[in-house]
Amino acid sequence: MSNEDEIFSAIAEERRALAATVWDLSSEQWKTPSLCSEWTVKGVLAHLVVPLVTPVWKFGLSMVRARGNFHRANQLMASRVGRKYSTRLPELLTRNAASRFTPPGNGPLAPLTDIVVHGHDIRRPLHMTHRIPDERQVAVLDFISSTPSRGIFPAPDATLHWKATDLDWTFGSGPTIEGPAASLMLVLTGRDSALAEVTGPGVEHLAKSAD
């Protein structure tokens, strides 16, 4: 993706697509555990809405309450937004789809990665599909495997050769781990449920590292 306008446009499209996916979910579907272990489907959507409806100072207050623990503050804010807006979450994601907010220290590839990865977190347990253009998937994989993503995602093991089988993307060198781009981005962001979708001699190395 060549410029920031294009990335923000992609973010807006992915937000609208995800909102449309969840708009008519039943109460039971909202409670479905997502691939993101701490949250249900509703919790993930609330997390995505947090930066669109919450002033920065309120997140700062949550950081204080969480004693500087970003992960805990993130959970607190998502829980609060989920309770406050409940079934209005899809509406808010749509209404604020064009927001250009980016986390401090990160550009637009961070929110693009957030909406794409969390979109999988929501859709997969609900057995729903969504086609993401190849260039967006490459941009997400490039961000996940880059230095700017440190602190957001685990550092990928560059001693392994990560290779997408459905588009042109590779990273690192060594024993190969290959699979669909979506599966790679889930494994790279710590979603162990996607390990069954990748193959290659590097998978055994990855499993040993997780023990």
What are 98-119's pLDDT values in tens digits?
Answer: 999 998 778 999 999 999 999 9
Instruction: Tell me the average pLDDT across 137-144.
Output: 96
Beta carbons within 8 Å of 196's beta carbon, 6+ residues apart: none
Tell me: do 17 and 86 sit in the same domain. yes
Q: Which of 81, 101, 121 is the last residue of a domain?
A: 101
The parent domain of residue 176 ranges over 135-210
Which residue type, as a one-letter code, is found at position 135? Answer: E
Which DSSP state fits 197?
Answer: G
Q: How many domains does the chain have?
A: 2
Tell me: do 78 and 143 sit in the same domain. no
Q: 1, 7 in Cβ contact below 8 A? A: yes
Tell me: do 8 and 96 sit in the same domain. yes
Q: Does residue 107 lie within any of the structural domains? A: no
Tell me: do 146 and 86 sit in the same domain. no
What are 21-76's pLDDT values in tens digits?
Answer: 999 999 999 999 999 988 999 999 999 999 999 876 566 676 667 666 667 777 88
CATH code for the domain of 163: 3.30.1050
Distance, CA of 186 to CA of 193 (rounded, Å): 8
